[in-house]
Amino acid sequence: MTRSLELRRGLENNELVLYYQPQMNAHTGDLVGVEALLRWNHPTSGLLGPHEIIPVAEQSGLIIEIGDWVLREACLQARRWQDELDQKITMAVNVSVRQLKMPNFAETVQHALAVAGLPAEYLEIEITESMIQDETSMIRMLHELREVGVSLAIDDFGTGYSCLRSIKSLPIKRIKIDRAFVKDLPGKADDAALVEAMLAMASSLGLHTTVEGVETEEQYHFLREMGCTDLQGFLFSKPVPADAVFADKAAKK
């Protein structure tokens, strides 16, 4: 069986699952959101990650169906947490450029929210810098999504050919600073300077910031001092199944 047929069968057999990686408020240390990350519970190969799923899905066009499933599932899970927990937990979902280019994508998102009964402000859509370009249809879609009421975040910030202009002109709420800038912090002076500059820029533009790949207490303290608003990384948690996100937290009602 070709990999794409296998993936289609996997989708139909409910072999796809979402893992969730917690995002912490840098100042309070509270868990304030999660990022949904796709996994494939493959019958013989075990648990596969996005690198083994997304390219096949993109090539075969299955990314549209898989992306729809991801949105629906993530919204349903966010709604469950909204019912169970006292605090607001935002749900961040990665989307592919092929999804964004579907003319009805904003309606797809709105539908997923409606089916789950999830308020739009609980959902954040992550796009990468390279998706933006200067295409008017893309820019229109980002505005349509903003009108639906979801937030937009730029993922892997700093690694693409970012036109800083677009950050100002687009309805972007957050930048996610790529973990490549974080892994040698706080010791590496160049990276420290870059992260400090990105955080200062974001702050003066009124953007929220998530720094990814936080693995040590030293990085945590450094980033908090630099004014980062939120943090994500193995220091807090790796991506885990839904029922493990709050397993040892006192947040349950």
What residues make contact with Mn ion under the rule CB under 5 A? 94, 126, 155
Shorter beta-carbon distance to Mn ion: residue 35 or 112: 35
Residue of 72, 179, 188, 208 interacting with ligand G (CB under 6 A): 179
Instruction: Quote the tokens at residue 134.
Output: 């200067």
Question: Of 228, 142, 145, 144, whose CA–CA distance to 192 is shortest?
Answer: 228
Residue of 125, 213, 226, 230 interacting with ligand G (CB under 6 A): 213
Query: Which residues lie closer than 8 Å to 36 by C-beta, 6 or more apart?
Result: 18, 19, 20, 70, 73, 74, 77, 91, 92, 93, 94
Among 4-12, 137-145, 166-174, 231-239, the segment contacting ligand G (CB under 6 A) = 231-239
Shorter beta-carbon distance to Na ion: residue 149 or 158: 158
Place of tokens 């549209």: 64
Residue 233 touches which member of Na ion, ligand G, Mn ion, none, C-beta under 5-8 Å by kind: ligand G
Considering the complex, what minimum distance in angstroms separates the CB of residue 32 from ligand G? 16
User: Residue 201 is which amino acid?
Assistant: M
The verdict on 24 binding ligand G (CB under 6 A) reads: no
Shorter beta-carbon distance to ligand G: residue 122 or 220: 220
Query: Which residues lie closer than 8 Å to 179 by C-beta, 6 or more apart?
Result: 212, 213, 233
Query: Which residues lie closer than 8 Å to 101 by C-beta, 6 or more apart?
Result: 137, 138, 141
Shorter beta-carbon distance to Mn ion: residue 94 or 151: 94
Binding to ligand G by CB under 6 A, coded x per residue (else -) over 39-78, reads ----------xx---x---------------x--------
Considering the complex, what minimum distance in angstroms separates the CB of residue 156 from Na ion? 4
The radius of gyration of the chain from alpha carbons, rounded to an integer in Å, stands at 18
The verdict on 156 binding Na ion (CB under 5 A) reads: yes
Query: Which residues lie closer than 8 Å to 216 by C-beta, 6 or more apart?
Result: 235
User: Whole-angstrom Cα distance, residue 253 to residue 90?
Assistant: 18
The verdict on 21 binding ligand G (CB under 6 A) reads: yes
The verdict on 3 binding ligand G (CB under 6 A) reads: no
The verdict on 117 binding ligand G (CB under 6 A) reads: no
Pairing of strands 123-128, 151-157: parallel
Q: Which residues bind ligand G (CB under 6 A)?
A: 21, 37-38, 49-50, 54, 70, 94-96, 155-156, 179, 212-215, 233-234, 239
